[in-house]
Amino acid sequence: MASNRPLRSQTWFAQPTYESLTHRAAIRAEGFTPDVFQNRPVIGICNSWSELNHCNLHLRTVAEAVKRGVWAAGGFPLEFPTISLGEIYMKPTTMLFRNLMAMDVEECIRAYPLDGVVLLCGCDKTTPAQIMGAASADLPAIVVTGGPQLNGRWEGNPIGAGTDGRKLYDLYRTGRIDDEQLCEIEGGIYRSAGHCNVMGTASTMTSLAEALGLALPGCASIPAPDSRRQAVAEQSGRRIVEAVWEDLRPSRILTRAALENAITVDMAIGGSTNAVVHLIAIAGRLGIPLPLAEFDAISRRTPFLANVKPSGQFLMEDFFYAGGLPALMKEILPLLHGDALTITGKTIAENLATAVCYNRDVIREAARPLHPEGGTVVLNGNLAPNGAVLKQTAASPHLLQHRGQAYVFENYQQMRAEIDSDDLPVEASTVLVMKNAGPKGAPGFPEWGHIPMPRVLLNRGIPDMVRISDARMSGTSFGTVVLHIAPESAIGGPLAIAETGDEIALDVANRRIDLCLPADEIARRLATFEPPPPKYTRGYGKLFLDHVTQADQGCDFDFLRAESAHE
């Protein structure tokens, strides 16, 4: 397929100028023949491969499969690296660098002689960062995810990255697992390249890339080592060349309908709470307002169907064998905008026509959901005037209506120092509060919100309690955990004035989180608030502190939202 539409890359390669000569000569220096300039779409393969990121370790192999497809369809593939955000190693948090990666992706796409781009991602932030950058650059783009790891195994049982790791480590903390067993777990929990094998942030965001219409149907769920991962990569390489000729840009796909589809799918899969922040940021790149209230409205009407950890029983490999995301999306098709356009050139409904579910224990029917509502709920109240989130499907039902006395940690460091103390004065009814863990306070909005259960309570067999903070938590985590409180404490949000001994009320049915104090006492305490000194005074950290928006606005930089976009 070719058209007479002039290619953007020809501006570099087909001009009667000295500069154009050097552009061609530079490609010839890589050993290509002049044939590559004969009206072939130049396809950038934007690769987040890194040996510092085991989740994306196989993406160079995936890139080779993409290249096969691009060549076969008459394009010219050129692979380029971007920074890679490895969730396990990066300190203080990958979220500090999501916007940096998005800028890297956006500016590389814009600055180089590309007609279209294939985005290779997997580990948590790499997917939203690439989509944000590609949305702003607005050249035809297709997402090829790396896929989830194989199921973890220990003592004959499946174990999920993050989710079971935390549970097993709590057994170690309380002496019920020894060093040798811990070493065995270490060797069996991540069994291959690929992203975390539960419905954590990576599986959520790769699924939402597909729900948004940016990836080929079925792409997100294929395990990383499965040969079909290479096949879908080759297919995606072919398809991006066609998409260039069709001028099928992200701005035609990433509409309000597509974003609503993504939220609906997020609720049905029991997706990570982090998806809320990332979807708002993606919408911001397109100039589409996406208030938190919209997430809650969609949550209330969407059944939770994916029986995958941390909210369910199974792992991503099982989800794939059950039919994967297309089977789940077909089940909720009446709740989706079926006419939304996708990168296939067809609609969501057309893409799902042949989807089949093979295991109803893993992907439930809409009429027999695991929970009648979606995974994530949005809370408001005097502690969170601009909102907070909670993953109700991974919480303890008996704690969803709760009133208890606060025990307050002023920051993460204090929490780490005290949480295993034998005389920590907490009960099962205590509400643990942690401050200064938000976008500006931590800074970087780290995944500190899953405050570990105090050892004194674990020793008494108490597995969960209400915990609240302005931090995020890993999508692999679980528990009755209120997150993303906005505005955050470091800028004077009401969380800043909570004190040990105050009563806090959580009322999920009515979507409220409140500090049970008279209004005049709240006003008195707020009047005494003084912000902590900034953690960065130079470099990227300062840029982040000066421009990051709050959780309810997606934590993008204010100057990267659509109104500031440039060409």
Residues in touch with ligand FES (CB under 6 A):
55, 87-88, 123-124, 161, 195-196, 200, 202
- If the CB atoms of residues 63 and 161 are measured against ligand FES, the closer one turns out to be 161
Beta-ladder partners of 80: 46
The least CB distance from residue 278 to ligand FES, in Å, is: 13
The least CB distance from residue 551 to ligand FES, in Å, is: 20
- If the CB atoms of residues 89 and 358 are measured against ligand FES, the closer one turns out to be 89
122, 143 contact by CB (below 8 A): no
Residues 21-56: b if buried by 16+ CB within 10 A, e if exposed: eebbeebeeeeeeeebbebbbbbbbbbbbbeebbbb
Cα(143)–Cα(343) distance, rounded to whole angstroms? 9
The least CB distance from residue 403 to ligand FES, in Å, is: 35
Cα(18)–Cα(26) distance, rounded to whole angstroms? 12
Order the strands of the 431-434 sheet from edge to edge: 376-379, 388-391, 481-483, 467-469, 431-434, 401-409, 503-507, 512-515
What secondary structure letter does DSSP report for 155?
Answer: T
- If the CB atoms of residues 87 and 106 are measured against ligand FES, the closer one turns out to be 87
The least CB distance from residue 72 to ligand FES, in Å, is: 31
- If the CB atoms of residues 149 and 351 are measured against ligand FES, the closer one turns out to be 149
- If the CB atoms of residues 55 and 473 are measured against ligand FES, the closer one turns out to be 55
Beta-ladder partners of 389: 378, 483
Cα(348)–Cα(355) distance, rounded to whole angstroms? 11
The least CB distance from residue 567 to ligand FES, in Å, is: 33
- If the CB atoms of residues 243 and 316 are measured against ligand FES, the closer one turns out to be 316
- Measured CA to CA in angstroms, residue 119 lies from 138, 300, 441, 551 at distances of 13, 33, 32, 25
- If the CB atoms of residues 146 and 237 are measured against ligand FES, the closer one turns out to be 146
Residue 6 — φ and ψ, nearest 5°? -65, 140
Cα(406)–Cα(89) distance, rounded to whole angstroms? 32
The least CB distance from residue 312 to ligand FES, in Å, is: 18
The least CB distance from residue 180 to ligand FES, in Å, is: 25
Q: What is the DSSP string of 310-360?
A: TTSSB-HHHHHHTTHHHHHHHHTGGGS-TT-B-TTSSBHHHHTTT---S-T
Cα(330)–Cα(468) distance, rounded to whole angstroms? 35
The least CB distance from residue 476 to ligand FES, in Å, is: 7
- If the CB atoms of residues 139 and 308 are measured against ligand FES, the closer one turns out to be 308
